[in-house]
Structure 1
Amino acid sequence: MNDERLIAELHGRWVFGWERNEGDAPFDFRRTFGEFYDFDSPDLRLYDDFDPEQRVATTATGYGSIWEPHFDRMVSAHHAVDDGPHVIASHHLAASTLAFVARITTPDGATDIRTTTSLVWRRTPDGWRIVREHNSTRVLSAGDLDGRLPVYEAG
């Protein structure tokens, strides 16, 4: 598999790491995303404007600490890829862009979103790892994703 196809496959799998189903165990960022982020890098920059505080994390552990409380509070989070991934790769660095839609359900109700995510990957001895992330999210009108996401059965 060439690097572009590998990065595309990784980015697609990364999206679905954010899936949550009702009754899931507490969200453990490192366990879920250990194969994606460079937890040893001293120079990460990770940003998602869906974070209410719009923080920029400089470590993977710090990024996880932003999202673990939010994902623990969620009832469910279901995603579908809307566009991409689109990848360019060189020997040591690669960039990928992907758009996804998701329905985030909390005890307060459901929110439909569309997010464009741009990731920069660095080749490490352990494989390709995320070293830059920028996500831009737009909240959609209620019900916009009806019929666009897979149906999840409880059980």
Structure 2
Amino acid sequence: MNPGQVIADLHVRWVFGWERDEGDPPFDFRRIFGGFYDFGSPDVRLYDDFDPEQRVATTAAGYGSIWEPGFRGMVSAHHAVDDGPHVIAGQELAASTLTFTARITLPDGATDLRTTTSLVWRRTPDGWRIVREHNSSKVLPAGTLDGAFGAGLPAVSQEA
């Protein structure tokens, strides 16, 4: 398989790694994403503006520590790829971009969002790993994604 297709497949799998269903075991970033991020590189820079503190992580483990508390408190997180992935791939580095929608459900309600994600991948002896990440999210009006993630998911409003 050519590198572009490998990266496209990885990026889509990465999106769905963030899925959560009620009753799932506690969110463990390294267990879920150990095959995606470069946990040993000094070149890692990872950012997501959905982080209320808008921190830039310089290690994959540090990035995981940003997300584990919030994801452990979620009822569910459901995603759909909206556009892409779009990939440029060389032999050692690749970049991919895609847009996804998500409904993040907490005990007190849900947030619908659309996120554009850009990842830079480096080929390592263990395979392609993420060394750069930038996510930009826009919160959508409550209920925008009602019915978007399959039958049986409740439509939850952001309103109390």
Alignment of 1:102 with 2:108, yes or no, is no
Distance 1:150 1:51 in 2: 27
SS for the counterpart of 2:142 is coil
Distance in structure 1 (CA, Å) of the matches to 2:12 and 2:69: 24
Measured on the aligned residues, the alpha-carbon RMSD in Å equals: 1.2
Q: Does 1:125 align with 2:128?
A: no
Q: Between the two proteins, what is the percent identity of the paired residues?
A: 78
1:152: how far off?
5.1
Structure 1: which 5+ runs fail to align?
none
Per-residue CA deviation, residues 44-75 of structure 1 (Å, 9 max, x unaligned), is 00000000000000000000000000000100
Distance 1:85 1:26 in 2: 29
| TM-score between the two structures when normalised by the length of structure 2 | 0.94
Normalising to structure 1: TM-score of the pair? 0.97
Q: How many residues get paired?
A: 154
1:43 Cα deviation (Å)? 1.4
Task: For structure 2, list consecutive stretches of 5 or more residues without a partner in the other structure.
Answer: 154-160
Distance in 1 between the 2:152 and 2:65 partners?
27
3-state SS in 1 of match to 2:113: strand
Given the alignment of the two structures, is residue 34 of structure 1 paired with residue 57 of structure 2, yes or no? no
Alpha-carbon deviation of 1:150?
Answer: 2.4
Do structure 1's residue 60 and structure 2's residue 60 form an aligned pair?
Answer: yes
Query: Within 1, Cα distance between the matches of 2:16 and 2:39?
Result: 19
Instruction: Go from structure 1 to structure 2 and tell me whether the alpha carbon gap of 1:152 and 1:133 turns closer, same or farther (over 3 Å shift).
Output: farther
Other structure's SS at 1:7 match: helix
The whole-number CA distance in structure 2 between the counterparts of 1:84 and 1:34 is: 23
Corresponding residue number in structure 2 for 1:6: 6
**Corresponding residue number in structure 1 for 2:69:** 69
